[in-house]
Amino acid sequence: MSVLEQFSLQGRVALVTGAGRGLGRAMAVAFAEAGASVICAARTAADVETSAELCNATAGQGLAAICDVGNADQREAAVKLATERFGRLDVLVNNAGGAYPNDPLNTSTADFDRDFHFNVTTALAMSQLCLPQLREHQGSIINISSAAARYAQAGFSSYSTVKAALSQLTRSLAADFAPAVRVNGIAPGSILTDALGQFLDQETQQKMADLTPMKRLGRAEDIAAAALYLASPAAAWVTGKILEIDGGAEASTWPF
């Protein structure tokens, strides 16, 4: 197999949650460009339909699935759609997640539980649903964690904790599912998506870039390239790892 063939997803089927925008859309399109058929799953119909259209404009295919990962019925429907339309499932990307900055003294236990469920519990649930297909096809799971999981930074006690839990779930599931299914994660640093951009003006963006050794914020395509590697045969001997894609930052670049 040539080097380029090792990065091909021809004939593979991937399901990407949170694929309506940002990192999820970029990963879905990258997989399709590599030849995969991709289930683009997210809550907003217009967003996932656009993502699917972008996938269909490549060498692969895209299919939209309305899926709130917090809804068990919608999780099951998204997985069923993949197997019924494409006959298999090779890659699961647990990308849906996130949490706002928080003050720990004013964070209710209900809010903390909500963040944990959204980021960690749903990733476990999706992995459980997909595991039979992934085992049959020697597939892989990719969990999208965060650089915040290893930083000590004020104002992120909820987000950093749940992402750290997701990173550890990744390592644990890798041990549980090996050798049939690989489980890896990506810990993005500061990526300039709509989710982050809503908090930043040009001045704060520049401050964050200055705090990053590579002197720029990340792009969604930076994460998509890492996800393609982990999903492809090129990473056949990689499991239980968290790829840190953060421009070299070893501390928070949050400027506030």
Q: Cα separation of 196 and 191, whole Å?
A: 7
In sequence order, the β-bridge partners of residue 125 are none
Beta bridge partners of 244: 187
Is 159 considered catalytic here?
Answer: yes
Neighbours of 203 (CB within 10 A): 9
What b/e string do you get for 19-42 counting C-beta neighbours within 10 Å, with b at 16 or more? Answer: bbbbbbbbbbbbbbbbbbbbbbbb
3 state SS of 7: coil
CA distances from 95 to 41, 53, 223, 224 (A): 10, 19, 11, 11
Rounded Cα distance between 93 and 223, Å, is 12
Q: Rounded to the nearest 5°, which phi and psi values hold at 184?
A: -135, 170
> Which among 100, 151, 159, 229 is annotated as catalytic?
159
Give the type of residue at 133.
Q
Within its chain, how far is the Cα of 166 from the centroid? Answer: 11
Closest CA to 52 of 20, 23, 82, 81: 20
Here the tokens at position 141 are 């799971």
Residues noted as catalytic: 159
